[in-house]
Amino acid sequence: MAIRSLEVQHFRNLKDIHIKPLPGLNYIIGPNGSGKSSLLEAIHCLGRGKSFRTHKTNRLICEGYSSFTVLGQVQQHGRQFMVGMQRERGKSTIKLAGRLIARSSELTQALPVAVLEPGLHRLIEEGPEHRRRFLDWGVFHVEHGFHQIWSNYRRVLAQRNAALRSGGPRASIVNWDQELVQTGDQLDQARQHYLKNLMEYVSLYSQKFPDLAEVHITYQQGWREGESYADYLAAQYTSDKERGFTQFGPHRADLRIRIQGVDAREYLSRGQQKVLVALLVLAQCEQMRMQDTSVVVLVDDLPSELDTDKRRMLMQSLTETGAQVFLTGTDSSLFPLDDTEHGMFHVEQGQIHVAG
């Protein structure tokens, strides 16, 4: 399992919460505005050091208080340790297994957290940054050393862009090209290798939903196919210099998602898009489980567009990943409950109690 116990203090409208979730499904039930989504946000902070609903962390502090605290006992790879985050105005303090950490990547590695929320469809409908973020989260947890490769590429890219803007001689710019190409090729290869393996899991999950059969995802590397990054970078030098930034490379990569040969944006309804993205995330979780990594999945409002059968299939898929799952809803009747062991927590006015 992942989270064995969770304490939340002064987080949004949650004043003092202490729960012990089960390893599998955990239902968070309560009226709108009661604090259900706030609990999911707190768990997200525990795994990523930030909310999935706002980048303004100060807004998460309960009105009338100076800070919030989230503390969890985590079990991962056969060992138990504590993870904690405290936020005061303008400053976050994060501890992992008793030591202060400065990089959120350490937190993410220790407690992988995936989110299924009402805006799922954005991964398909909106810009490539959503799809890169989805892809890189998975690669980070599966491909050893990926974070260092990604960090090196971003560092060299920033330095090359600074040289392009400075108006200096060509030599001062192309000095960065060799390292950019080297790290860019490593980044590209890691992503392509990951996606190839991920598609095996995607195919298994999509078979449960006939209208999502024949999902095909291709990786677009961010520069012209069939041409080396080094050659393409050199060919674009003049254009890059005029614009003051590096126009092409892995930082412009994208995923092309098609259903039966048609762009998913054109083929699928909004509800179907949400189900497809959910299946993609669950495929990532299943892939990570094969590496003995426990994942926490936060489901904020199971898509209301789904009929009963699709809800049941999605719930079954959630269970099969072996992930620890937290689902919110206004009423337990919204969930196709069966005999599977699950936790049930009721939330009202910022207070949480276990259902009897």
Domain limits for position 196: 119-292
Would residue 146 count as lying in a domain?
yes
Per-residue pLDDT at 322 exceeds 90? no
Would residue 235 count as lying in a domain?
yes
Q: If you average pLDDT over residues 265-279, what whole number do you get?
A: 91
What integer pLDDT is reported at residue 45 of this predicted model? 95
Q: If you average pLDDT over residues 37-66, what whole number do you get?
A: 93
Would residue 258 count as lying in a domain?
yes
Would residue 265 count as lying in a domain?
yes
CATH code, 171: 1.20.1050.90
What integer pLDDT is reported at residue 337 of this predicted model? 67
Per-residue pLDDT at 89 exceeds 70? yes
Would residue 18 count as lying in a domain?
no
Radius of gyration of the chain (CA): 22
216-240 tens-digit pLDDT: 999 999 999 999 999 999 999 999 9
Q: If you average pLDDT over residues 281-310, what whole number do you get?
A: 86
Would residue 236 count as lying in a domain?
yes
Would residue 110 count as lying in a domain?
no
Residue 104's pLDDT band (cuts 50, 70, 90): confident
What integer pLDDT is reported at residue 301 of this predicted model? 83
Residue 304's pLDDT band (cuts 50, 70, 90): low
Count of the separate structural domains present in the chain: 1
Per-residue pLDDT at 190 exceeds 90? yes
Would residue 285 count as lying in a domain?
yes
